[in-house]
Amino acid sequence: MRRTAPAALLAVALAAGLLAGCGGSGSGDVNARLAVSSAYMPQPVSASMAAGFLTIVNDGGAKDELTSVTSDIAGDVTVHETVGGAMREVQRLTVPAHGRLVLASGGNHLMFEDLKRRPRQGQTVAVELHFAASGPVTVEMPVKPATYTPATGH
């Protein structure tokens, strides 16, 4: 666990002697605590481009930001949002404290370009998520049928 805490906070904690019993619990609420669920990639219909969806849940008391994504199957992975039916690339998406960031069909999504191989249904695609504060998170994203939509729907 590599968590960076502001130096001032550390100084206060030291002054109060709180670090003496620091086992990692209790102080966690000043950090984001991220977990990824519902990740999938619809089997791409294009040989060069694919989309990916997932949900990032933050149980911590601080927000974080998804800043970049990498994958060994794609030369480039970008984060897109959909506004008024048109998608555009964004530099970061916020994962709110005690909240979630949802990437779902018709909304925010990952865009894989310059594919090195074409993912097939039943395979998995490894994706590494990079955040402003938290360490990187690796996700094994299952490849679903091209028409797949999760039960929780659109």
Give whole-number Cα distances, 118 to 20, 50, 140, 144, in Å. 52, 9, 16, 13
In terms of residues, how long is the chain? Answer: 154
Please identify which residue in 40, 80, 110, 129 interacts with Cu ion, judged by CB under 5 A.
80
Give the residue at shortest CB distance from Cu ion. 80
Please identify which residue in 49, 111, 132, 133 interacts with Cu ion, judged by CB under 5 A.
111
Q: Count residues contacting Cu ion (CB under 5 A)?
A: 3
Rounded Cα distance, 112 and 37, in Å: 19
CB-nearer residue toward Cu ion: 87 or 97 = 87
- As to burial, measured by CB atoms within 10 angstroms (0-12 exposed, 13-18 middle, 19+ buried), residue 147 is exposed
33 scored as a contact of Cu ion (CB under 5 A): no
87 scored as a contact of Cu ion (CB under 5 A): yes
Residues of this chain that interact with Cu ion (CB under 5 A) are: 80, 87, 111
